[in-house]
Amino acid sequence: MAFILPSESIDGSPTCNGLHMNGQDSLVQPLLTDFYQITMCYAYWKTGTHNEPAVFDVFFRKNPFHGEFTVFAGLEDCLRFVENFKFSQSDIEYVKKILPENAEPEFYEYLETLDGSHLTIEAVREGSVVFPKVPLITIYGPLAMCQLLETSFLNLVNYASLVATNAARFRQASGAKLSLLEFGLRRAQGPNGGLTASKYCYIGGFDGTSNVLAGKLFGIPLKLRSLNHKETAETMDLFQASIEKRGWLLDQMAWGVVQSEVSDGELTAFVAYAIAFPDSFLALIDTYDVLRSGVVNFVAVSLALHDFGYRSMGSGRTIRTAKDKAESGCDEDHDSRQEEVLSNLWKKRIRDSRFDDESKRALVNASKIIKLHNVYWKDGVLSTPLPTLNEIKEHPSPESWT
């Protein structure tokens, strides 16, 4: 199971894991669906077809990003949703308000009885490369119950697969040696979107995240601190070293700025980039304030890198001219430095994976395909153990999960 923490109670409140309850996002519940799913359920119940056996397939029609493959993700979230599926009393009371007044009371009694015990779910293993119109998940069960899962399953699979696929494309383009770090939380689609993105970037091939809660909940490495010394190979904390250098700078020099004015988030981003490119570190220093934050953080990280045996690409001229450039808001050297970074990346053999050659990105070995689906849910319980995030990421054979 990707979720690594047991449930815990805080001050006598219901047990939970951060934003999660019982290993599942607390927002993923039966009412996280479209209204018409509930009206269709009522129609099935009204006509007596609600318990008719049905088969629902989850699939997609086109690969994202005009690509040639998709990485399937979100399966565990779907299974946790089924495992905890139950309408609460407040859910029933709300459904009574939104359905017509003449809806029969017995229908609400029926909703109270629903759970996942009569479903069987087969699926492609999470993290697999998949293609359009091939079923990813197949759900067998009573018609009305399958209908109520549709919107939630699509929500849980679509975004997760999109993020995992995008991460895999970055990995394919950058090759195996470069370190890829995700730190998009501040611009993510809310807290849940941020956690989802961190989790599925890791499945798609990224090496770590800046998202501390994702690290706690899912065990994803927080690889935004450590860097090996260039000569001794000793692992050192670049983030802490940069913090210390920044404090020293503010104490020793009259920057005209106090500690609280300098952006910690910017420093975190600089450190993450420096870890990825220690020999070619440079930074865009005008994200917040050039003189009151950007230059201070840039110099701090550069000094820390120097102690680790590396040399920043930023020169003394860059620092001296920062003040002169601040008022005009331009930097004539910016484009040339960006070209230099791209040139260095090119020299690091990124050219081995051509960005426009989509057909080579789907690395599928047919001899490893044993069967398309495994049965993950049957008779109200998980029937196949779920792999860990690392097992999904490393694409082991299904036999190694059991």
Same-domain check for residues 389 and 267: no
Confidence at 198, pLDDT banded by 50, 70, 90:
very high
d(CA 276, CA 165): 21
Kindly tell me the number of DSSP H helices and DSSP E strands found in the chain: 13, 13
What pLDDT score does 327 carry?
41
Establish if 26 belongs to a structural domain: yes
- Which of 31, 166, 53, 79 has its CA nearest to residue 386? 79
What is the average pLDDT value for the chain, to the nearest integer?
Answer: 79
pLDDT(284) > 90 = no
Same-domain check for residues 216 and 246: no
First-to-last CA distance in the chain? 12
| Segment holding 193, helix H or strand E | helix 190-204
Domain-ending residue, one of 309, 327, 360 = 309
Give every CB contact of residue 158 below 8 A, 6+ residues apart in sequence.
Answer: 60, 74
The tokens for 166 are 């995008």
Establish if 360 belongs to a structural domain: no
Same-domain check for residues 73 and 122: yes
d(CA 127, CA 107): 39
The tokens for 17 are 């894991």
What pLDDT score does 6 carry?
56
What pLDDT score does 363 carry?
28
pLDDT(321) > 70 = no
- As a whole number, mean pLDDT of residues 376-396 equals 77
Same-domain check for residues 51 and 144: yes
Establish if 362 belongs to a structural domain: no
Can you point out the beta strands (E) in 82-151?
Answer: 120-123, 129-130, 137-142
What is the CA 187 to chain-centroid distance, rounded? 13
Please say whether the dihedral angle defined by the alpha carbons of residues 315, 320, 325 and 329, taken in this order, is positive or negative.
Answer: positive
Confidence at 387, pLDDT banded by 50, 70, 90:
confident
Please say whether the dihedral angle defined by the alpha carbons of residues 283, 285, 286 and 289, taken in this order, is positive or negative.
Answer: positive
d(CA 146, CA 167): 31
Query: Per residue in 16-60, pLDDT tens?
Result: 444 444 445 678 999 999 999 999 999 999 999 999 999 999 999
pTM of model > 0.85: no
Establish if 314 belongs to a structural domain: no
d(CA 196, CA 369): 28
Establish if 16 belongs to a structural domain: no
Same-domain check for residues 176 and 216: yes
Which of 90-99, 166-175, 251-260 has the largest mean confidence?
Answer: 90-99
Confidence at 221, pLDDT banded by 50, 70, 90:
confident
Same-domain check for residues 212 and 260: no
The tokens for 338 are 């960006």
As for how many domains the chain has, the answer is 2
Residue 60 three-state SS: coil
Percent of the chain residues past pLDDT 90, beyond the cut? 39
- Tell me whether strands 137-142 and 53-58 are parallel, antiparallel or unpaired: antiparallel
Establish if 323 belongs to a structural domain: no
The secondary structure of residue 382, as a DSSP letter, is E
Same-domain check for residues 214 and 241: no
Q: What angle do CA 162, 21, 203 make, to 5 degrees?
A: 30
Domain-ending residue, one of 309, 326, 361 = 309
Same-domain check for residues 202 and 236: no
Compute, in degrees rounded to 10, the torsion defined by CA atoms 162, 164, 166, 167: 160
d(CA 326, CA 59): 52
Establish if 357 belongs to a structural domain: no
Q: Which amino acid is at 390?
A: N
Residue 381 three-state SS: strand
pLDDT(332) > 60 = no
CB atoms within 10 A of CB 59: 14
Give every CB contact of residue 346 below 8 A, 6+ residues apart in sequence.
Answer: none
What pLDDT score does 222 carry?
77
Same-domain check for residues 122 and 194: yes
Query: Per residue in 146-165, pLDDT tens?
Result: 999 999 999 999 999 999 99
pLDDT(113) > 90 = yes
Give every CB contact of residue 14 below 8 A, 6+ residues apart in sequence.
Answer: 21
Which domain range does residue 235 map to? 231-309
d(CA 147, CA 166): 30
Confidence at 342, pLDDT banded by 50, 70, 90:
very low
Residue 85 three-state SS: coil
Establish if 329 belongs to a structural domain: no
Same-domain check for residues 160 and 200: yes
- CB of 268 within 8 A of CB of 222? no
- Tell me whether strands 208-209 and 181-182 are parallel, antiparallel or unpaired: parallel
Same-domain check for residues 186 and 301: no
- Which of 367, 374, 402 has its CA nearest to residue 387? 402
Domain-ending residue, one of 259, 293, 309 = 309
d(CA 205, CA 171): 6
What pLDDT score does 61 carry?
95
Same-domain check for residues 112 and 239: no
